[in-house]
Structures are given as C-alpha cells and as structure tokens.
Chain A
Amino acid sequence: EIVLTQSPGTLSLSSGERATLSCRASQSVSISDLAWYQQRPGQAPRLLMYGASNRAAGVPDRFSVSGSGTDFTLTINRLEPEDFAVYYCQQFAMSPWTFGQGTKVEFK
C-alpha cells in the first residue's frame, strides 16, 4: 500500500502567517490522485483540495497545493482563526486508499 507521511506533526503559528504542510508518498503518485482534508475537534473531516488544484466548495483561495512525484505541499496563506485544525492528505492512486497521519496547525 502507499504510505503517506506528513510533516511536521505540529505547526505552531500565529494568525496571518503562512502554513506549509508536507505530504510524502512512499511511491510516486500524481497530484491528481491526492486530496486534502481539514478536521476540527469533534467534527468529521472536511474536503479542502482535490485533483491537483481544485478547491472544494466554499474553500478560500488562500489554500493551495503543489508538488509532484512523492512530495506534495499544502500551503495556507494568511492563517485565519478557523484554519487552526488538523490536516490530512490522502491518496487515490492505488487501493487501499490511505491517509497521512495528519499535521496539527495550532496557535503559537
């Protein structure tokens, strides 16, 4: 199976700063086969990004993704208070679908 490793485990930042979250795959995948989710405490994950550069409905353009091969990045520009949460990458390149272990973006 494809293992996704996210780093860092925790990112301590302030509102207005930029968050850079990494997702590394154990084998090459297309960015089109990656999705990113946000999860707030006590809630279900929420789809953020999929299929390279597609934002889910209602997701602001301060969220973007980049990368290729095995290394991918979710960037959140100008952090807003509601952005402090856990973020997961997930792959659809090969079954079983797998998730990274998550990166927590917390208030500094």
Chain B
Amino acid sequence: QVRLQESGPGLVKPSQTLSLTCSVSDDSITGGTYSWSWIRQPAGKGLEWIGRIYTGGSTDSNPSLKSRVTITVDTAKKVFSLKLTSVTAADTAVYFCARETADYTVLTGKYNRRFDQWGQGTLVTVSS
C-alpha cells in the first residue's frame, strides 16, 4: 500500500511563504489514473481542498486560494510540493497530502473519484 508523508517547517512567519513536500512511497506518482492533492484542516474545523497536480504537471486549485498557491511535482524524486504565499494566521492548519484515484466505470460512463490515500498530516502554524 502506498504511503504518503508530508514534510516542511512547522512554523512560518506572517507574509512569508509556506512550503511543504509530500513523499510518495511507490511509483504510483507516475500513474495516469492518479492526481495529487493538498488538503488542509484548521484546528477543530472541517476539510478544505487546496489544489491538485497531475503527473503531467497540469494543476487545478481552489479559487479561494488560487493566486497564492503553487503545486509542483517531481516524478523522479516521487514528491509533489505546495507553496502558499503571503500567509496569515488564517492559514494555520494541519496540511494533508492525498492521492486522488479516478477509474472509469463503463456501466455509468463516469469516473469514480476518491481520495484513497492520505498522509498523516503536518501542522503548520503561522505566527511571528
């Protein structure tokens, strides 16, 4: 079973850039049926999807964060990364990386998507 592991600074100063990396334990990062997402969760609150990247490098992100988010992938190193610029206290959260699997179902003519693998999460605190 694939394992995902987030890494990066646990403390970032306001107005600076939050940088996190997710390491993927197997070669699924090169697989065409997957995309790779970042999701965050403020303490005691719900989940917010930040954005995703496909193996080929195309990205999609939440409009609420889009201008501040950059997601990149390095398939050779089996990692994908998140940069979030101009952070404020509102960006304090546990950040998860997750694999989105999509497989086509002939019966419905649709893709079945799900976040089937998650990292354990890493707490990032924005504070001076």
Q: A residues near B, CB below 8 A?
A: 1, 30, 32-33, 35, 37, 43-47, 50-52, 54, 56, 88, 90, 92, 95-102
Alpha-carbon gap, A37 to B46, bound state (A): 12
Q: From known contacts A51-B105, A95-B60, infer whether A44 and B118 are also in contact, taking CB-CB under 8 Å.
A: yes
Determine if B114 and A98 form an interchain contact, defined as CB atoms under 8 angstroms apart: no
Q: B residues near A, CB below 8 A?
A: 37, 45-49, 60-64, 96, 105, 108, 110, 112-116, 118-121
Alpha-carbon gap, A56 to B108, bound state (A): 19
Alpha-carbon gap, A75 to B120, bound state (A): 26
Q: From known contacts A35-B113, A44-B121, A45-B115, infer whether A96 and B46 are also in contact, taking CB-CB under 8 Å.
A: no
Q: Which B residues are in CB contact (< 8 Å) with A1?
A: 63
Alpha-carbon gap, A9 to B116, bound state (A): 24
Q: Which B residues are in CB contact (< 8 Å) with A35?
A: 113-115
Most chain B CB atoms below 10 A, which of A90, A97, A102: A97
Alpha-carbon gap, A90 to B41, bound state (A): 14
Closest 3 CB pairs of A and B: A51-B112, A50-B114, A44-B118
Determine if B118 and A45 form an interchain contact, defined as CB atoms under 8 angstroms apart: yes
Alpha-carbon gap, A44 to B38, bound state (A): 12
How far is the CB of A25 from the nearest CB of chain B, in Å? Answer: 15
Which partner residue on chain A sits nearest B65 by CB separation? A96
Which partner residue on chain A sits nearest B46 by CB separation? A101
Alpha-carbon gap, A83 to B113, bound state (A): 23
Q: Which A residues are in CB contact (< 8 Å) with B105?
A: 32, 51
How far is the CB of B51 from the nearest CB of chain A, in Å? Answer: 8
Determine if B49 and A96 form an interchain contact, defined as CB atoms under 8 angstroms apart: yes
Alpha-carbon gap, A100 to B120, bound state (A): 20
How far is the CB of A2 from the nearest CB of chain B, in Å? Answer: 11
Alpha-carbon gap, A88 to B116, bound state (A): 14
Q: Which B residues are in CB contact (< 8 Å) with A88?
A: 46-47
Q: Which A residues are in CB contact (< 8 Å) with B48?
A: 99
Which partner residue on chain A sits nearest B112 by CB separation? A51
Determine if B62 and A96 form an interchain contact, defined as CB atoms under 8 angstroms apart: yes
